[in-house]
Amino acid sequence: MTPRVAVVTGAGRGIGAAVVHRLAGEGWRVVAVDVAEDDPGLGYPLARREQLAEVAAKWPGQVLDFVADVRDQRAVDEAVAVAEREFGGLDAAVAAAAVMAGGRPLWETTDSEWESLFGAGVDGVFHLARAAVPALLRRPQPRTGRFVALASAAAHTGLWRLAGYNAAKHAVVGLIRGLATDLRGTGVTATAVSPGSTRTPMLQATAALYDLDDVEEFAQHQLAERLLEPEEVAAAVCWLCGPDASAVTGTVVHADGGFTA
C-alpha cells in the first residue's frame, strides 16, 4: 500500500513533534515544519533548528524537516509543495503551531502579544488550510483527506488573564467548523483537537505567566488529576488523520483529561 503523507506544523517539540513521531511510526511520510527561531513578541524561547532536525533524524527517508514561519503564506505553500514533490501527494495536514502570551488583563495586552497569538495560532491555521486543502483535493476519489488543527481547552472556557489566547483558540474552532462545511461532499474532513494541560514547553511558559514554580499545579483542573503527555494528545490527532475517523468532521475532540467536563 502506498504510504500516506502529512504536513505537520509546530513540529520542533511538544505535541507537534509527538504527532510526527506517531505518524512516522504508523508508516506515514511527513514534512515536519517549524519556525525554529524565537519570536521577539514572546517572553520564552521557541523550538530550535537542532530540535526540528532531531525529530526528522529519527525517521530517515520518512520525515523531512522544513523550516518555515506559518505566518508566511509562501513558506507554508512551499512546505506543501515539498510533500507533493518528495512524497507524491498529501493526505493529511496538522496545524499544531501555536504560542502562549498573556499574564495580564485583556485591556493590558500588548499589540505584539496579540499579533503573536493570532499570527501563529490563527493565521498559521488559515495559511496551512489555504495551501494544503487544494493538495488534499488533488487526490483521486474516493478521497480520505484530513485537516486537523490544535485548538485548546481555552477554546471552550475563559481562562484568567489569557483572554487573547482564549480568543485565538476560539477562532481556530470557528475556522474548522467553517472549513468542514466548505468541504462537504469532498471526502476531506476538518476537525480540531482541544488538549488540556499538557507537559510541554508552552505549559512551562504558561506557568511563568502565573508565577507558578511547578507546572504540576495545573493538574488540579483536570479530572485525570495529572498533566497529559504530548503522546496522549498526539494519539487523538493521529486517529483523526486515519481512515477510522471518516465520520468525524466539523467538530472538536476534547483530549483534555476532563478539563472542560
Cα separation values, 210 from 3, 12, 213, 217, 258, Å: 44, 25, 9, 11, 22
Which amino acid type is present at position 107?
W
Nearest Cα neighbor of 121 from 147, 151, 146 is 151
Judge if the upstream peptide bond of residue 142 is cis by omega within 30 degrees of 0.
yes
Rounded CA Rg of the chain: 17
- Active-site positions read 165
Sheet (strand 29-34) strand order: 63-67, 29-34, 5-9, 92-95, 146-150, 189-193, 252-253
User: Look-up: residue for cell 511510526?
Assistant: 25
Which helix H or strand E contains 65, and what residues bound it? strand 63-67
Which helix H or strand E contains 16, and what residues bound it? helix 14-25
The answer to whether the beta carbons of residues 152 and 221 sit under 8 Å apart is no
* SS3 at position 198: strand
Largest CA distance in the chain: 54
Could you write out the DSSP letters of every residue in 219-259? GGGSTTSSPBPHHHHHHHHHHHHSGGGTT--SSEE--STTT
